[in-house]
Structure formats: C-alpha cells, structure tokens
Structure 1
C-alpha cells in the first residue's frame, strides 16, 4: 500500500534526480563562505581537516572554494546520483548520503567541518537534518550554512505590493505569482533571526552571520544587492557560521 507520505517522498526524489533541475549556485556565496571556513580551520600545514560538502550538487561550489581550502580533504555528499556524477569532475571524493538518522556514511565525529550550502530550504525535515550534521561533526566542529533570505531587501518590497517573494515556491511544476523562471524546489525559507534561533536550538553555538549577493538578481540591481550584504538581515543570501557544542 502506498501512503501519501511515500508518494510525496517519491515525487521529491524524482524532482531532484531530474537533470534539468539546477544544482549549482553563485560563486560569490561560495567564495565568501570558503573564506570564513578557511580562516576558522587555519592552514593545512598545521592540520589536515576533513570537510564534508553535504548537498554538493554538481561540485562547482566546492571547485570555487578549493583554492582557499587547499590541503584540506573535501568530500562531496549528495542524494542525487546525477549530481554526484557531475560533481566527480570537480571533487576527488564523492559519496551518496541522506540527511536521515544515520543516513550519512560517516562515523560519529568524523568531520572537522560541514559545508551545508543552499540545502536546508529544500528539506521536509530540517530538524532531523541538523541532528545528523551534529552527529558527524566532532565537538567544536564548524558548520557553514547558507540559505536564501526570506527577508531580502527586494522581498520586503514585493510583499508590500502583494507579490510572492523571490525564492518562495508554491509548486514543483511551475512558477506562480513570483519573479523568476526556474523551479528549484524550495520548501522552507528563513529570516536571519529565525535561522539563528533554529541552529542554536539544534545544538550549535552561532559564531556569526553575514550576507552574500544572489547571482539571479537583474544586472542593473546587482550593485545594490552587493551593498545590502553590509546588513545581513536584508541580504539576498544568509551565511551562518556555527560550531557544534
């Protein structure tokens, strides 16, 4: 007997295994995130760290960050077999894993850091996902999480005008009531305050929150989008650095 939950899960799997679904995000976010992580880890000459890029997509984000993480061991992890095939062109180590209890193929405390970029907004159960990330991180290990900002500067104006915010989606089959052309499967969105509170409640100590621009902003507005990063709560992308307690 097929349950409604089973049908939803199968539908999401089919969606993310579709090669037409975007699995990459902008280099600006990747580089800003990598700089923070590189500073936190220190040079690999002192100690080689194991970094898990969970939800690595096609590996282009890790490739952009690689010069800043030189010498550290970066392992790409994704649910989608199609994404892993593409990621292997950029990463020497890729494995399949799921964000369920024990779904990541790593021992407790195996990782020094986790890159969790543009993933949490796609999850049905983000609570269990952060529990699993906490399991594979060593005590004091670094979590580098990025996600679109529900309260981005332009979304505030769109909501006032009665328009569906950018990043939010009401269907996996088409765009309805918001700007943009791509369906990317966002299920949950966070403001800066909500993200801080959620990560802290999941057993992490939040070290800092910064902003990054969004590559999909129209060219005439990109300078303004970069300026908005000075106020993370209004930036397009939220970059959160936390440590496992």
Structure 2
C-alpha cells in the first residue's frame, strides 16, 4: 500500500533515493523495483532486519533491475549520516507526526536532497486524525505514538521556509479512515473484534485484488476523508554565475 506517487517523483533506474523512517519498507521496495539506488533508513533495528531480508530476496528472485541497489541503514532522522545534496529523491512517509523535533528533521531531509531533487512527505490528515484522537487516547498516547496533528498548510510552510517549491498535494487511503475510527471506538488493541476483523479482511482483499469498484470509491472519497495527505516539493537548482 503506497502513499507516495512514484510516477510523480520520477523514480527510475539510477535514482538515488532515501526512505527516511522506512518502517516495514513499502516505499523502499517500490523504489527498488523501479531500479533506484535505495537507502531504507530507520531507527528500529528489528524492522530493518525484516526490510533487508525482503530487499535481498527481491534481488535474488529477479524482481528488480540488475543495476538496482538497496541497503538498510539504522540511524537517527535528526542526524542523517550523509553529505549535503546526496539524494535525488527523499521520502518521509508517516514519520514527522512521531518526531518531537520535527523542524530539525525537516531541515535534515532538505539538507541531503540534491538541488533539483524531489522531496515527498506524508502525514495523517487533520480531520481523520482528530476523529481518532477524540475516540481513543490509546491510539496516540503511547511510546513512539503520534505527538501532533498537522494541518497541511502548516507542514507546507515548514518546508517552504527552507526554500523549496511545492509542486503537488493529494490525499490517500480514504477506505482506511473508517477502519481506524472503528478501531479507536472499540479500542485499538482489540484486533479480534468482529467488526474490526471483518473490515481488515476487506482492506487486505482490496490491496491484493485492487477491484475497480473499491479503487473508484477510494479515489472519489480521498478528497473528503483520505487518511493521509501527501506533499511534494522540489529543491531549487543551484544558480550558475553568468548563466
């Protein structure tokens, strides 16, 4: 389940990509399939071990171009261990809502991005997230949980302050919003609740089968209740004196 639109980012063979806060690796896997040189970056060693195993299996099974490379790296998003302007594309999907020093994290994302490069940031959307917080403290008030709810324009302005240019925004995962509302209503830890379990089965079926009906429904509902908002930026090219 991708939140980021890779066609919009132009990720392909030879693109240097870092997926900051990669989690289970969904965006790293897609970049790898497209032939990119991928860094799957996270602070969770257990998650990274799983991601690394899948990346290696993809390579061994011929699911990626021969030139593609991928590496799982453990580290801190507030201090990325890369030089300025290292990556053509930087992805930070569903991580900033967890980070107390989000301004510092954003500065690092911008710093390692090449001039002319693309930055994609996604966070939970304000309205669906407010509903979740209202229904359940357990949903967010836990170690490593969500510490803030962004308005899209607030996040946009934090990034624009670093001199980047906003190129596009969209919403995603509308069918997931009611699922999380249900989970919060019955208790996020009650995964075996029959209604929650039935809805989860529907979401899994939808992700695997991608039928026309649910894909169309979600595209129509995304502007209204999309669970995530995605923002895309470009870093200005370096100006050349006399050009």
Q: Shared fold by TM > 0.5? A: yes
In the alignment, which residue of structure 2 is the partner of 1:11?
none
CA contact (8 A) 1:225 1:236 kept: no
Q: Distance in 1 between matches of 2:140 and 2:54?
A: 33
Q: Is the 8 A contact 1:146 1:240 kept in 2?
A: yes
Instruction: State the shift of 1:235 in Å.
Output: 2.4
* Matches of 1:167 and 1:85, distance apart in 2: 31
SS at match of 1:88: helix
Q: Tell me which residue corresponds to 2:19.
A: 53
Q: Structure 1: how far apart are the matches of 2:168 and 2:115?
A: 18
Matched, 1:121 2:97: yes
Report the alpha carbon displacement of residue 98 of structure 1 after superposing the two structures with TM: 0.9
TM-score w.r.t. structure 1 length? Answer: 0.67
User: Residue by residue, what CA displacement relative to the aligned partner does 1:206-238 show, whole Å, maximum 9, x if unpaired?
Assistant: 111011115463348995654222x2x752210
> Could you say what the CA RMSD is over the residues aligned between the two structures, in angstroms?
2.9
Q: Does 1:164 align with 2:134?
A: yes
Relative to the length of structure 2, the TM-score reads 0.67
Residue from 65, 78, 83 that aligns with 1:107:
83
Larger-Rg structure = 2
**Structure-2 change in CA distance of 1:65 and 1:50 (3 Å):** closer
Give the SS at the match of 2:178: coil
Aligned length: 189
**Residues 101-126 of structure 1: CA distance to partner in whole angstroms, max 9, x if unpaired?**
xx212111111111111111110011
1:97 maps onto 2:70 in alignment: no
Q: 2:19, 2:27 within 8 Å by CA — same for their partners in 1?
A: no
CA distance in 1 between partners of 2:89 and 2:172 (Å): 20
1:35 maps onto 2:1 in alignment: no
- Distance of aligned partners of 1:97 and 1:59 in 2 relative to their CA distance in 1, 3 Å threshold: same
Greater per-residue helix proportion: 2
Partner Cα separation in structure 1 for residue 134 and residue 154 of structure 2: 19
Match of 2:106 among 124, 130, 141: 130
Unaligned segments of structure 2, at least 5 residues: 56-69, 180-198, 207-213, 237-243
Q: Report the counterpart of residue 15 of structure 1 in structure 2.
A: none
1:83 aligns with 2:53: no
1:59-98 CA-partner distances (Å, limit 9, x unpaired): 233224543xx22111101111112111102333111221
Task: Sort the Cα spacing of 1:85 and 1:166 in 2 relative to 1 into closer, same or farther, 3 A.
Answer: same
Identify which of 202, 221, 224 aligns with 1:228: 221
**What is residue 61 of structure 2 aligned with on the other side?**
none
Q: Which residue is equivalent to 2:65?
A: none
Structure 1 residue runs without a partner (length 5+) = 1-26, 174-183
What is the deviation of 1:201? Answer: 1.9
Which of 230, 234, 239 is matched with 1:239 structurally? 230
C-alpha distance in 2 between matches for 1:149 and 1:136: 26
